[in-house]
Amino acid sequence: MPPVPPPTPTSDASPGAPTGDISEGLLGRALLAAVVVAGAAFRVHWALNDEGIYWPDEVYQSLEPAHRLVFGYGLKAWEFIEGARNWALPGLVAGVMGLVRLLGGTDPSVYLDVTKAFFALLGAACAWGSWRLARAYGASEPAAAAGAALFALAAVPIYFAPRALSENASALPVVLGLALALPRGGSRRAVLAGASLLGLAVLLRLQNGVFCVGLLAVLAAQRRWRVAGEALAVLAGWAFVYGLLDRLTWGGWFHSARVYLEFNVLKDGASAWGTAPFSYYGRVLFQGMPAVTFVTGVLALLAVRRAPGLLAVTLLFFALHALQPHKELRFLVPALPLFAALAGVGLDSLLAGWSPRSVRAGAALGVVAVAALSGLRAGRLTFGDVGQYEDSRPQASAWDDAGDVNRLLLAASRLDDLCGLKIEVVHLAWTGGYSYLHQPVPLYPPNGPPRGSGLFSHVITLPGYAPGEVVAESGPVVLSRLREGCVPDAGYTWRLP
């Protein structure tokens, strides 16, 4: 897509003539290309070199139900028993897995790597979306590229990018939808296309409805009543799709939304997984990437005159999540490309009165350098840096958590004599489940049947507790063969314990 001519820098970006010159344009496009390619390289590297889990949702809300759709079996989390999630995200993941299967990729290491790389590239595309959004609000190409770097190359977005989470899947339609629909003076066609992308984002993650409400509020504030009504009609169409999907899969209109809201709002069920104060998100972002967070925050605030609507919608999304008792850093992922775009607009506003071209170029390169340094340090992130397990193991590496167990599940997937497997070292929720095991045999948790039951032939355990033949090992755990053959388990349940 060719670069979009940036608007004249007025409130909410009325359309106008392009700013800058040819040399700035070349610098901006070169920076953008370098930022996106480097961001993609960071993400794909970690996609292919990390088998760990940040939180069970990245398996049991996406990979595992998708595995059931494509291959016919998998563990069922309570959300996919009670119907607290819709099938849009698992359907997307199943589409990727199914395509890999059609091309002959039935080994789990293949379809998992492709799936993680797919999400990683979605994250890299969000950086282009940040650039596109900043340009729509009048930022020069170098400033917009520098803003995009604050998402593409920053440690926290890199960490989350390869994970099959609804936040990652929905971030791209959010940033592109707002780039099309939110700036003042956008065409009717652009607004409706943007509203449609936001409707898709809600289908993937219900909380993105905040952006839909924000879009309608901004259009109303601009007194664009006709376009606001048309955008509302588009969003209503996507709401119908949401309800219809639930009707076809769960048997009731908006079933997943109703169950989800009842559990999380009326019953405050998510608080069982921990609560945190309002300051959590700001504190954790500073812990994970202090320089990037500081630069992004300051520059985003400088965008208030040019992009008040975008800033208000983004801060609303942030504040509503900060007000919820249960917090996880991943919940902010859809807003991070928006903050990056605001930073690009703010940087351009800061430099607008500075005529020396070298100063503008140097400032953009300086912001890119700050982001790149954060990305190079991404491998050092701890769970404390990403706000997880802060009370138990904040100094533990955030990478490859339970990766050793998952690698042994991949090893078990290639055994011809496997007829049952027990994992004794970690709860099944913190493993890759059948997405990694990829054999329709019973999979037992640590509190499952004893070894003498004969219900499983292999066990994943610690070396000192591994009688029989050790067939594979990874880090401090081993896969051991206990016996040949298994006693059939007529009462085996596929529900995640």
The total number of residues written for the chain in this structure: 497
Q: Which residues of 446-457 are buried (b: 16+ CB within 10 A; e: fewer)?
A: eebbebeebbbb
Residues 277 and 407 in one domain: no
- pLDDT of 7: 44
The answer to whether position 51 is within a domain reads yes
Range of the domain at 242: 22-380
CA 292, 360, 355, 137: dihedral to nearest 10 degrees? Answer: -70
Residues 234 and 302 in one domain: yes
The answer to whether position 386 is within a domain reads no
Residues 322 and 463 in one domain: no
Residues 303 and 248 in one domain: yes
Residues 291 and 408 in one domain: no
Residues 376 and 413 in one domain: no
Residue closest to 89 by CA, chosen among 185, 6, 169: 169
- pLDDT of 357: 82
- Alpha carbons 388 and 165: distance in angstroms, whole number: 16
- pLDDT of 185: 79
To which H or E segment does residue 370 belong?
helix 357-376
**Share in percent of the chain as helix, strand, coil (round to 5):** 60, 5, 35
Instruction: Compute and round to an integer the Cα radius of gyration of the chain.
Output: 24
Q: Is residue 452 within 8 Å of residue 426, measured between CB atoms?
A: no
The answer to whether position 155 is within a domain reads yes
- Alpha carbons 488 and 54: distance in angstroms, whole number: 34
- pLDDT of 93: 98
- pLDDT of 354: 67
Residues 115 and 233 in one domain: yes
Residues 286 and 352 in one domain: yes
Per-residue tokens: 92: 């997307």
Return per-residue pLDDT of the chain as tens, 497 residues. Answer: 444 444 444 445 443 334 446 788 899 999 999 999 999 999 999 999 999 999 999 999 999 999 999 999 999 999 999 999 999 999 999 999 999 999 999 999 999 999 999 999 999 999 999 999 999 999 999 999 999 999 999 999 999 999 999 999 999 999 999 999 999 878 899 999 999 999 999 999 999 999 999 999 999 999 999 999 999 999 999 999 999 999 999 999 999 999 999 999 889 899 999 999 999 999 999 999 999 999 999 999 999 999 999 999 999 999 999 999 999 999 999 999 999 999 999 999 999 876 688 888 999 999 999 999 999 999 999 999 999 999 999 999 999 999 999 999 999 999 999 999 999 999 999 999 999 999 999 999 999 999 999 999 999 999 989 888 999 999 999 999 999 999 999 999 999 98
The answer to whether position 495 is within a domain reads no
Residues 214 and 340 in one domain: yes
The answer to whether position 4 is within a domain reads no
The answer to whether position 5 is within a domain reads no
Residue closest to 339 by CA, chosen among 295, 370, 296, 304: 296
The answer to whether position 163 is within a domain reads yes
Q: Which residue has the tokens 């919940």?
A: 331
CA 270, 403, 60, 100: dihedral to nearest 10 degrees? Answer: 150
pTM of the entire structure?
0.93
Q: Which residues of 218-242 are buried (b: 16+ CB within 10 A; e: fewer)?
A: bbeebebeebbebbbebbeebbeeb
Residues 299 and 413 in one domain: no
In angstroms, how far is CA 142 from the centroid of its own chain? 26
Structural domains counted in the chain: 2
Residues 409 and 361 in one domain: no
The answer to whether position 17 is within a domain reads no
Report how far apart, in Å, the C-alpha atoms of 80 and of each of 65, 86, 265, 436 are: 8, 8, 19, 19
Residues 372 and 407 in one domain: no
